[in-house]
Chain A
Amino acid sequence: MVIDLKRCIGCYGCQLSCKAEHGTPPGVFFARLLKQEEGHYPTVRQLFLPVLCFHCDEPACVEVCPTGASSKAPDGIVDIDPDECVGCRACMMACPYSQRYFLDEERHYFPGNGATPYEQARSERHPSGVVMKCNFCRHRISVGKEPACVANCPAVARHFGDLDDPTSTVSRLIKERGGYTLHPELGTGPAVYYLPA
Chain B
Amino acid sequence: MEAVPPISGIGTGRDDCWIPSACSLCYGTCSILAHRVDGVLVKLEGNPESAAGKGRLCGKGVSGLMTHYDPNRVRVPLRRTNPKKGMGVDPGWKEISWEEALDEVARRLKKLRGEDPRKLFIQRTTTVTSSRTPIQVFAAAFGTPNRSSAGGGLHCGNGAHLISGIMHASWSVVPDFQYCNYAVYFGASKGHSAGHASCSNMGLAAEARARGMKMVVVDPMCNFAAAKATEWVPIRVGTDAALALAMGNVMVNELGIYDAPYLRAKTNAPYLIGPDKLYARDPESGKPLVWDLGAAAPRPYDAVSSEAMALEGEFPVNGVLCRPAFELLKNHLKNFTPEWAERITTIPAADVHRLGSEFAREARVGSTIVIDGVTVPYRPVAAIAFRGSQGHVNSVYNFLAVDLLNQLVGSADMAGGCLGFNPACHGYPETGRPYFVPKAGPDGLMITGIWMAHHNPYPIGEPRMPEQIGLQDLFVLCQTSPFSDSSDREEMWDKLDLPYRPEILLNYGTNSLMSIGNKETVAGALAQFKFVISIDLFLTESSDFADIVLPDCDYLESLDSRPNFPFIFNLPGGLGEWCWPIKQPAIQPDGEQRRSSDILVELADRIGMREDLNAAFNVVLKLEGPFRLEGERKYSYEEVCDAELKNNFGAQHGLEWFKKNGVIKWPKKPEEVYWRHFVDTRVPIYWEFLPVLREKIAALAEPRGIKIPQRYYEPLPDWIPCPAHVTNGAFDLYAFYYRDIIHTNSFTMENPWLDEAARLDPYSYTIAINAGTGRKKGLVDGEEIWVETDAGRRVKGKVHLTEAVHPEGVGIAACAGHWGEGMPIAKGKGVFFNDLLEVDYDHASPVNLNLDLCVKVKVSKARGVGR
Query: Please, how many angstroms separate the alpha-carbon atoms of A27 and B199 in the complex?
Result: 26
Residues B1-51 near A (CB distance < 8 A): 37, 40-46
Query: Please, how many angstroms separate the alpha-carbon atoms of A92 and B54 in the complex?
Result: 38
Contact (Cβ within 8 A) A113 B71:
yes
Residues of A within 8 A of B228 (CB): 9
Contact (Cβ within 8 A) A9 B224:
yes
Quick check: is B460 within 8 A (CB to CB) of the other chain? no
By CB atoms of chain B within 10 A, which of A11, A109, A151 has the most?
Answer: A11
Contact (Cβ within 8 A) B753 A9:
no
Query: Chain A, 50-69, contact with B by CB distance < 8 Å: what is the 0/1 string?
Result: 00000000000000000000
Quick check: is B209 within 8 A (CB to CB) of the other chain? yes
Query: Chain A, 7-37, contact with B by CB distance < 8 Å: what is the 0/1 string?
Result: 1011111011101110100110000110101
Chain A interface extent, by class: 35 or more
Residues of B within 8 A of A120 (CB): 40
Contact (Cβ within 8 A) A6 B71:
no
**Chain B's nearest CB lies how many Å from the CB of A188?**
25
Asked, given contacts A9-B228, A13-B56, A16-B754, whether A39 binds B42 with beta carbons under 8 Å apart, the answer is: no
Partner of B753, one of A7, A19, A35: A19
Query: Please, how many angstroms separate the alpha-carbon atoms of A19 and B223 in the complex?
Result: 24
Residues A103-145 near B (CB distance < 8 A): 109-110, 113, 116-122
Contact (Cβ within 8 A) B202 A155:
yes
Partner of A20, one of B44, B192, B199, B756: B44
Quick check: is A42 within 8 A (CB to CB) of the other chain? yes
Residues of A within 8 A of B45 (CB): 20, 151-152
Quick check: is A1 within 8 A (CB to CB) of the other chain? no
Contact (Cβ within 8 A) A110 B71:
yes
Q: Is the interface of A mostly helix, strand, loop or mixed?
A: mixed
Contact (Cβ within 8 A) A20 B43:
yes
Asked, given contacts A109-B66, A118-B42, whether A35 binds B761 with beta carbons under 8 Å apart, the answer is: yes
Quick check: is B210 within 8 A (CB to CB) of the other chain? yes
**Chain A's nearest CB lies how many Å from the CB of B738?**
13
Quick check: is B651 within 8 A (CB to CB) of the other chain? no
Query: Chain A, 85-108, contact with B by CB distance < 8 Å: what is the 0/1 string?
Result: 000000000000000000000000
Quick check: is B615 within 8 A (CB to CB) of the other chain? no
Query: Please, how many angstroms separate the alpha-carbon atoms of A53 and B222 in the complex?
Result: 29
Residues of A within 8 A of B412 (CB): none
Asked, given contacts A16-B757, A121-B42, whether A46 binds B223 with beta carbons under 8 Å apart, the answer is: yes
Asked, given contacts A20-B43, A20-B62, A35-B762, whether A155 binds B206 with beta carbons under 8 Å apart, the answer is: yes
Contact (Cβ within 8 A) B234 A110:
no
Contact (Cβ within 8 A) B202 A154:
yes
Residues of A within 8 A of B66 (CB): 109, 116, 118
Contact (Cβ within 8 A) B757 A155:
no
Quick check: is A44 within 8 A (CB to CB) of the other chain? yes
Quick check: is B742 within 8 A (CB to CB) of the other chain? yes
Contact (Cβ within 8 A) A110 B825:
yes
**Chain A's nearest CB lies how many Å from the CB of B296?**
53
Query: Please, how many angstroms separate the alpha-carbon atoms of A151 and B46 in the complex?
Result: 9
Residues of B within 8 A of A27 (CB): 756
**Chain B's nearest CB lies how many Å from the CB of A170?**
16
Contact (Cβ within 8 A) A41 B807:
yes
Asked, given contacts A41-B807, A118-B65, A156-B207, whether A109 binds B58 with beta carbons under 8 Å apart, the answer is: no
Partner of A110, one of B70, B227, B762, B771: B70
Query: Please, how many angstroms separate the alpha-carbon atoms of A153 and B754 in the complex?
Result: 16
Chain A, Cβ-Cβ closest to B346:
A42
Contact (Cβ within 8 A) A11 B58:
yes
Partner of A37, one of B70, B206, B804: B804
Asked, given contacts A9-B192, A113-B71, A152-B62, whether A45 binds B57 with beta carbons under 8 Å apart, the answer is: no
**Chain A's nearest CB lies how many Å from the CB of B352?**
14
Residues B614-640 near A (CB distance < 8 A): none
**Chain B's nearest CB lies how many Å from the CB of A112?**
9
Q: Interface of A with B (CB < 8 Å)? A: 4, 6-7, 9-13, 15-17, 19-21, 23, 26-27, 32-33, 35, 37, 39-42, 44-46, 48, 109-110, 113, 116-122, 151-157
Q: Interface of B with A (CB < 8 Å)? A: 37, 40-46, 53, 55-60, 62-63, 65-66, 68-72, 191-193, 199, 202-203, 205-207, 209-210, 222-224, 226-228, 232, 234, 590, 741-742, 752-754, 756-757, 760-763, 770-772, 802-805, 807, 825
Closest 9 CB pairs of A and B: A46-B227, A12-B59, A155-B206, A116-B69, A154-B202, A109-B752, A16-B59, A7-B206, A44-B803
